[in-house]
């Protein structure tokens, strides 16, 4: 059994910061021991990694990605191969992607399709949520089987009528089923029916630029949908996880639900914390790069999101990585913002941007690790295999240089997309080395991994219930 020792670093988990060496045996964390102790110095090893001056972190868990997603008449540009490689570059060692049930098809067919896309191609480990587009008697029954085999979360949409949209009755039925089978309903909470009216009116009045995407997807319509989702979950007796929360009033709805003791959870994404409607309004169709739903909001919302993350009104930061190239893909919406494929690239930069938030004083180091590693693992039934550094856990470990300076750019990133939403942004902190189950994937900033190393992760149910 191969043995690796990581010595000299500061181990940071959601609960602790320990100056400790880490022993890895056969792909798992075997032990931690304080630097210089007899225990630590007695460890023999095949490989020693010097982490002096570095943080030793659990690998990031990105619980919201869309690799190769068919959407808006095109496909998200990252494959499972390129997307998981980029994730590794950024210190993320687990993704949970969304398999899609197509209208009129079974959940099983959708899941099989996603397994076929990912199998043998991933650089790091991966699991699946299931997008429920067609709630009916048969797909409701299938939910039970999926939960039993490790697909334990289901995304429903109050947005995108005619594509993924479910009405309140279908949502209630899915929630009732989840309350019986242990599944977690993930909600895209925007009132898509009302938004489509505003889209039609905007286009008729000649308001066709990308910035109107933000105008029509109003804060009130995110807040209203969030409120409605909470009430439906309450009636069903089901837990609820609201994805990509962007608006202050939506945070208020989640906070109010949690205050009542309801099992309601919230996720936000780096784009809502670092970008704003100013980006959507960039001239020359540049704003198309920032079209995603829920949309970017005015800057004032950011402080509410940071506060929500600090006080646990929001529990998770995921990327909603759904990259479309500017050239040929985002451009499909020139002259009609509603035809711009919705989504942004980000899987590579979540850990770094959130470390910048530590540097800027928005988050503590442990809260950084909690919202990026431990909480998503717990939320989606992967803890403590993923999300922490403790004996028995998978040895998914990031050696992180907190003092390195870098400039984010499409010139240097590894995602298969021709722009960066953070082009030119200077951040402090950078991944040096990444292990996935003890195997180096990034070594001193060189990619040494391979497609097919990543394995599929059947998941347990939500561990916050």
Q: Give the one entry of Zn ion, ligand URP, none that residue 85 binds, where binding means its C-beta sits below a cut-off of 5 to 8 angstroms depending on kind.
A: none
Residue with tokens 């009302």: 194
Residue 292 C-beta: closest distance to ligand URP, Å: 3
Instruction: Tell which residue, 134, 145, 131, 130, has the closest CA to residue 181.
Output: 145
Distance CA 156, CA 148 (A): 19
Parallel/antiparallel/unpaired status of strands 10-12 and 17-25: antiparallel
Distance CA 341, CA 417 (A): 13
Residue 232 C-beta: closest distance to ligand URP, Å: 19
Other CB atoms within a 10 A radius of the CB of residue 231 amount to 16
Q: Please identify which residue in 65, 93, 277, 342 interacts with ligand URP, judged by CB under 6 A.
A: 342
CA–CA distances in Å: residue 238 to residues 103, 105, 178: 24, 25, 6
Q: Give the one entry of Zn ion, ligand URP, none that residue 292 binds, where binding means its C-beta sits below a cut-off of 5 to 8 angstroms depending on kind.
A: ligand URP
Residue 210 C-beta: closest distance to ligand URP, Å: 13
Tokens of 419: 């722009």
Q: Give the one entry of Zn ion, ligand URP, none that residue 287 binds, where binding means its C-beta sits below a cut-off of 5 to 8 angstroms depending on kind.
A: none
Q: Give the one entry of ligand URP, Zn ion, none that residue 62 binds, where binding means its C-beta sits below a cut-off of 5 to 8 angstroms depending on kind.
A: none
Q: Of 248-307, which residues contact ligand URP (CB under 6 A)?
A: 292-293
Minimum CB distance to Zn ion smaller for 188 or for 386: 188
Minimum CB distance to ligand URP smaller for 32 or for 156: 156
Binding site for Zn ion (CB under 5 A): 188, 320
Residue 164 C-beta: closest distance to ligand URP, Å: 8
Residue with tokens 């060692």: 93
Q: Please identify which residue in 320, 352, 394, 396 interacts with ligand URP, judged by CB under 6 A.
A: 320
Distance CA 156, CA 179 (A): 15
Residue 94 in the binding site for ligand URP (CB under 6 A): no
CA–CA distances in Å: residue 419 to residues 355, 390, 442: 22, 38, 23
Instruction: Tell which residue, 312, 400, 388, has the closest CA to residue 355.
Output: 400
Tokens of 124: 């790091």
Q: Of 445-464, which residues contact ligand URP (CB under 6 A)?
A: none
- Residues 215-244, one symbol each (x = binds ligand URP by CB under 6 A, - = not), give -----------------------------x
Contact (Cβ atoms closer than 8 angstroms) between residue 413 and residue 431: no
Distance CA 69, CA 295 (A): 19
Residue 322 in the binding site for ligand URP (CB under 6 A): yes
Tokens of 450: 């391979």
Tokens of 65: 């990605």
188 backbone dihedrals φ, ψ, rounded to 5°: -85, 100
Residue count, binding to ligand URP (CB under 6 A)? 9
Residue 349 in the binding site for ligand URP (CB under 6 A): no
Minimum CB distance to ligand URP smaller for 66 or for 413: 66
Q: Please identify which residue in 4, 21, 61, 66 interacts with ligand URP, judged by CB under 6 A.
A: 66
Minimum CB distance to Zn ion smaller for 320 or for 352: 320
- Residues 120-159, one symbol each (x = binds ligand URP by CB under 6 A, - = not), give ----------------------------------------
Distance CA 189, CA 187 (A): 5
Q: Give the one entry of Zn ion, ligand URP, none that residue 433 binds, where binding means its C-beta sits below a cut-off of 5 to 8 angstroms depending on kind.
A: none
- Residues 179-198, one symbol each (x = binds ligand URP by CB under 6 A, - = not), give ---------x----------
Contact (Cβ atoms closer than 8 angstroms) between residue 154 and residue 132: yes
Contact (Cβ atoms closer than 8 angstroms) between residue 181 and residue 147: yes
What is the secondary structure of 366-384 as a DSSP string? HHHHIIIIIHHHHHTT-TT
Q: Give the one entry of Zn ion, ligand URP, none that residue 28 binds, where binding means its C-beta sits below a cut-off of 5 to 8 angstroms depending on kind.
A: none
- In the complex, which residues of this chain contact ligand URP (CB under 6 A)? 66, 188, 244, 292-293, 320, 322, 342-343
């Amino acid at each position: 059994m191969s043995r690796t020792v990581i010595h000299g670093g500061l181990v940071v988990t959601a609960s602790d910061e320990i100056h400790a060496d880490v022993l890895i045996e056969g792909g798992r964390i075997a032990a931690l021991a304080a630097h210089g102790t007899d225990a630590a110095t007695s460890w023999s090893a095949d490989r020693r990694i010097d982490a002096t001056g570095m943080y030793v972190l659990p690998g990031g868990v990105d619980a919201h990605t869309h690799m190769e997603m068919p959407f808006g008449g095109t496909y998200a540009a990252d494959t499972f191969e390129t997307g998981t490689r980029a994730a590794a570059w950024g210190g993320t060692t687990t993704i949970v992607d969304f398999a899609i049930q197509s209208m009129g098809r079974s959940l099983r067919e959708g899941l099989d399709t996603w397994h076929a896309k990912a199998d043998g191609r991933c650089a790091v480990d991966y699991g699946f949520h299931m997008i429920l587009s067609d709630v009916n008697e048969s797909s409701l029954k299938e939910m039970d089987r999926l939960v039993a085999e490790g697909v334990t979360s289901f995304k429903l949409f109050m947005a995108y009528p005619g594509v993924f949209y479910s009405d309140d009755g279908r949502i209630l039925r899915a929630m009732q089923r989840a309350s019986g089978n242990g599944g977690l309903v993930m909600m895209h909470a925007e009132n898509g029916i009302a938004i489509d009216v505003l889209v039609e009116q905007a286009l008729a009045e000649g308001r066709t630029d990308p910035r109107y995407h933000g105008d029509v997807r109003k804060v009130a319509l995110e807040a209203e949908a969030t409120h409605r989702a909470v009430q439906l979950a309450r009636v069903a007796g089901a837990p609820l996880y609201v994805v990509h929360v962007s608006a202050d009033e939506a945070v208020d709805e989640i906070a109010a639900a949690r205050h009542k003791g309801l099992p309601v959870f919230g996720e936000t994404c780096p784009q809502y914390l670092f970008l704003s409607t100013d980006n959507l309004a960039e001239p020359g169709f540049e704003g198309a790069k920032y079209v995603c739903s829920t949309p970017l909001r005015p800057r004032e919302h950011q402080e509410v999101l940071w506060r929500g993350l600090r006080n646990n009104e929001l529990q998770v930061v995921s990327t909603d990585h759904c990259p479309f190239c500017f050239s040929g893909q985002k451009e499909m919406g020139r002259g009609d913002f509603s035809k711009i494929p919705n989504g942004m690239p980000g899987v590579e930069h979540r850990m770094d941007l959130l470390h910048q938030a530590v540097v800027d004083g928005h988050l503590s180091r442990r809260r950084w690790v909690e919202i990026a590693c431990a909480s998503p693992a717990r939320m989606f039934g992967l803890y403590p295999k993923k999300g922490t550094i403790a004996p028995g856990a998978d040895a998914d470990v990031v050696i992180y240089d907190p003092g390195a300076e870098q400039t984010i750019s499409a010139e240097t990133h590894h995602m298969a997309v021709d722009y960066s939403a953070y082009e030119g942004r200077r951040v402090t902190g950078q991944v040096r080395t990444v292990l996935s189950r003890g195997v180096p994937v990034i070594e001193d900033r060189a990619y040494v991994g391979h497609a097919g190393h990543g394995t599929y992760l059947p998941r347990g149910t939500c561990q916050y219930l």
